[in-house]
Amino acid sequence: MTAAPEAVRLDGKVVSAAAVADLQAAVAGLAYRPQLVFVRVGEDPASAYYVRSKEKLAARVGVRSRTVVLPEGTGAEVLLALVAELNADDDVDGILVQLPVPGVDPAHVLAAIDPAKDVDGLNPVNVGRLWSGGDALVPATPLGVVALLDHYAVPLAGRRAVVVGRSNLVGKPLAALLLQRDATVTIAHSRTRDLGALTREADVLVAAVGRPRLITPEMVKRGSAVLDVGLTREDGAIVGDVDPGVAGVAGYLTPMPGGTGLMTVVMVIANTLTAARRRRGA
Amino acid sequence: MTAAPEAVRLDGKVVSAAAVADLQAAVAGLAYRPQLVFVRVGEDPASAYYVRSKEKLAARVGVRSRTVVLPEGTGAEVLLALVAELNADDDVDGILVQLPVPGVDPAHVLAAIDPAKDVDGLNPVNVGRLWSGGDALVPATPLGVVALLDHYAVPLAGRRAVVVGRSNLVGKPLAALLLQRDATVTIAHSRTRDLGALTREADVLVAAVGRPRLITPEMVKRGSAVLDVGLTREDGAIVGDVDPGVAGVAGYLTPMPGGTGLMTVVMVIANTLTAARRRRGA
């Protein structure tokens, strides 16, 4: 008996490095340097860490960035006034507010960001353009998932894609992107019955719910592409939504960590470049 | 051998009559009468017919309506100036521009309509709110489909729903509504392979592509709910996307005509009431 061949790694390190090189070249060719502004409220360490990693990457790529830290307890009024100021500042290309902010309705903040500078892609105008076929800014994680699939030439048109998870940040926008690429798309979620029967039909399976090892080898179609977006901390270790044993069944699999997460940061910077080009030209 | 029991009719006449009665009562209870304005360009008879049927229903329900007919050849500038005027008119609750208008980008017109008055639900802000969970105005046909299912108490939560067709007007917004109702939703389309294998898994199947008799009895799960939105004229007769033989397999089926189409007109008026209440209060 021979072991099944291991799935090809959908390697976030390799693909994000290639994407960073492309971004560097693209930014170097501009007559200006795009600017991304982060807004944080208070000193949440996780939030500070995420902003720092994006700032570092921005610097590597040649995108200017700065971070405005508002004191803990800042309310909606002050936050929205800052957003309005950044909207009006012609030298700002991208605005990224780390949400949630305690006591502030996130929908209110997202709706206030100029859609042309909304590098998170969560303003309703961008969501609407994504689903209607307009020039949207699209959330970074789904963009990263599709970039991984494209890098490894995983076909999408006419294929069955199953997205497990229906968040505004990942599941729903990813469904829109896969549909644009002519996949037959199913959105599954916590209320889905017999998830395994559904996922076994998927040529492309993306898990984005944050339930450790939800996707077991029995739930995966042989040779399919499986992408893990879930992320849970368990006794200090990072655990994904996909059981590592899936590598023995799938044709393609993202490592966790080292897969989709690395792509997300890059796509935030890519969105800043997209936003800058649309506003200022190439 | 006994004949299979015929599917329960998802009867657009019955359900639309009930919805009209509800609307009449709701409008009668308002301190004002909502106003809907139709905009048409030129004298296309089909377009004129659709507007007239909506005007008639508006009158029955107690919603004021008027139609602005612009001369054939009217360009984007004049049309958009009219839309801006209607947006600014505090006495106008709903605006409905019959599209397409030759030589005018429909996306441009849709984006110009005040989202609060966009009773077609096609402005990107409304599309975005629909997918993000905000207070959207939603396209009428998908609203009508869900109203039919609800009237006959067809369960949605946890059920498999397959929407065939991915238009902005029907397929995509219907997928959003069914997802909100906790169905597991698949969007199929012209590039979908082995459509029958997919549709046979559907507890709720909606066909909205305009291909006569696309859905045959062999493609339908016994006892499921099948809703026909497609509409093709064939030698003077109206033919749906669903083969009438499906009545022998499905548990619930819309007649064609007399099903989803009757609901659409009512839901446009319902949207006008929703828009008026949000702007003016109840």
**Nearest residue on chain A to B169, alpha-carbon basis:** A132
Is the predicted pLDDT of residue B3 greater than 80, yes or no? Answer: no
E-state strands within chain B:
8-9, 35-41, 64-70, 94-97, 160-164, 184-188, 204-207, 225-228, 232-234, 237-239, 252-253
Instruction: Single out the catalytic residue among A98, A172, A221, A241.
Output: A98
Cα–Cα distance measured from residue A28 to residue A31, given in angstroms and rounded to the nearest whole number: 8
CB contact under 8 Å between A128 and B127, yes or no, is yes
Q: Of all residues in chain B, what percent carry a pLDDT higher than 90?
A: 94
User: A163 pairs with which residues across the strands?
Assistant: A187, A206
More confident residue, A43 or A21: A21
pLDDT of residue A281: 85
Dist. CA A192–CA A190, nearest whole Å: 6
Class of domain A31-116: alpha beta
Does residue A268 have a pLDDT over 60?
yes
Active site annotation includes A98 = yes
Q: Which of B127, B132, B159 sits opposite A132 (nearest CB)?
A: B127
Question: Residues of B near A (CB-CB distance < 8 A)?
Answer: 107, 122-129, 131-134, 157-159, 166, 168, 172, 175-176, 179, 182, 184-189, 191-193, 198
pLDDT at residue A4, as a whole number: 61
In which band, very low, low, confident or very high, does the pLDDT at B265 lie, cut at 50, 70 and 90?
very high
pTM (predicted TM-score)? 0.97
**Does the pLDDT value for residue B44 go beyond 90?**
no
CB-based contact B189 A182, cutoff 8 Å: yes
Mean pLDDT of all residues in B57-61: 97
pLDDT category of residue A44 using cuts at 50, 70 and 90: confident
**Taking CB atoms and an 8 Å limit, are B158 and A193 in contact across chains?**
yes
- B112-159 pLDDT tens trace: 999 999 999 999 999 999 999 999 999 999 999 999 999 999 999 999
The mean per-residue pLDDT over the stretch B59-88 comes to: 97
CA distance A86 to A89: 5
Closest chain B CA to residue A168? B132
Mutation target for B interface from A105, A187, A193: give the one with most B CBs within 10 A: A187
What's the mean pLDDT in A261-271?
Answer: 97
Distance in Å, alpha carbon of B193 to nearest chain A alpha carbon = 6
B149 to each of B3, B39, B135, how far by Cα in Å?
25, 31, 22
Summarize the confidence of residues B204-211 as an average pLDDT.
98
The yes/no answer to whether this complex scores an ipTM above 0.90 is: yes
* Separation of alpha carbons A108 and B164, rounded Å: 34
- A105: number of Cβ within 10 Å: 12
**CATH class of the structural domain A139-260:** alpha beta
Please, what is the average pLDDT of chain A?
A: 96
B126–A132 C-beta distance less than 8 A: no
**pLDDT tier for residue A153 given thresholds of 50, 70 and 90:** very high
Say whether A54 is catalytic.
yes
Instruction: Let me know if the fold of B32-115 is the same as that of B139-261.
Output: yes
Q: What amino acid is encoded at A192 in this protein?
A: T
How much is the pLDDT for A2? 56
Which of A191, A199, A203 is the best residue to mutate to test the B interface, defined by the most B CB atoms within 10 Å of its own CB? Answer: A191
Instruction: Specify the pLDDT at position B5.
Output: 78
Please pick, among B120, B203, B241, B243, the residue that the annotation labels catalytic.
Answer: B120
Residue B2 has pLDDT above 70, yes or no: no
Residue A40 binned pLDDT confidence (cut-offs 50, 70, 90): very high
Nearest CA in chain B to A193: B158
Residues of chain B positioned with their CB less than 8 A from the CB of A156? none
The position carrying tokens 């305690």 is A102
Confidence of residue B282 (pLDDT cuts 50, 70, 90): confident
Q: Which of A128, A182, A186 sits opposite B191 (nearest CB)?
A: A182
Q: Measuring CA to CA, how many Å separate B249 from each of A43, B158, B218?
A: 61, 22, 8
Question: What local confidence, expressed as pLDDT, does residue A3 receive?
Answer: 57
Query: How far is the alpha carbon of A72 from chain B, nearest alpha carbon, in Å?
Result: 27
Q: Report the chain B residue with the minimal C-alpha distance to residue A111.
A: B125
Q: How far is CA A206 from CA A13, A224, B192, in A?
A: 19, 11, 19
**pLDDT at residue B4, rounded to an integer:** 61
Q: How many CB pairs under 8 A join A and B?
A: 99
Contacts of A175 in chain B (CB under 8 A): 187
Question: Cα separation of A122 and B271, whole Å?
Answer: 25
Q: What is the DSSP letter of A29?
A: T
Domain boundaries of chain A, sorted by first residue: 31-116, 139-260
User: Stretch B177-196: mean pLDDT, rounded?
Assistant: 98
CATH number assigned to the domain covering B139-261: 3.40.50.720
Asked if B9 and B255 count as a contact pair (C-beta separation under 8 A), the reply is yes
> Of the residues B98, B117, B172, B243, which is catalytic?
B98
Mean pLDDT of A182-206: 98
Long-range contacts of A50-58 (CB under 8 A, 24+ apart): A50/A98, A51/A98, A53/A265, A54/A96, A54/A265, A54/A268, A54/A269, A57/A20, A57/A265, A57/A266, A57/A269, A58/A269, A58/A272
For residue A267, the model assigns a pLDDT of 98
**pLDDT band, very low/low/confident/very high, at A48 (cuts 50, 70, 90):** confident
pLDDT > 70 fraction of chain A, expressed in percent and rounded? 99
B117 is catalytic: no
Answer whether residue B212 shows pLDDT above 60: yes
Give the nearest partner residue to B125 out of A125, A159, A187, using CB atoms.
A125
CATH T-level fold of B32-115: Rossmann fold (3.40.50)
Using the beta-carbon criterion (under 8 Å), do A132 and B133 form an inter-chain contact? no
**What is the band of B173 on the pLDDT scale with cuts at 50, 70, 90?**
very high
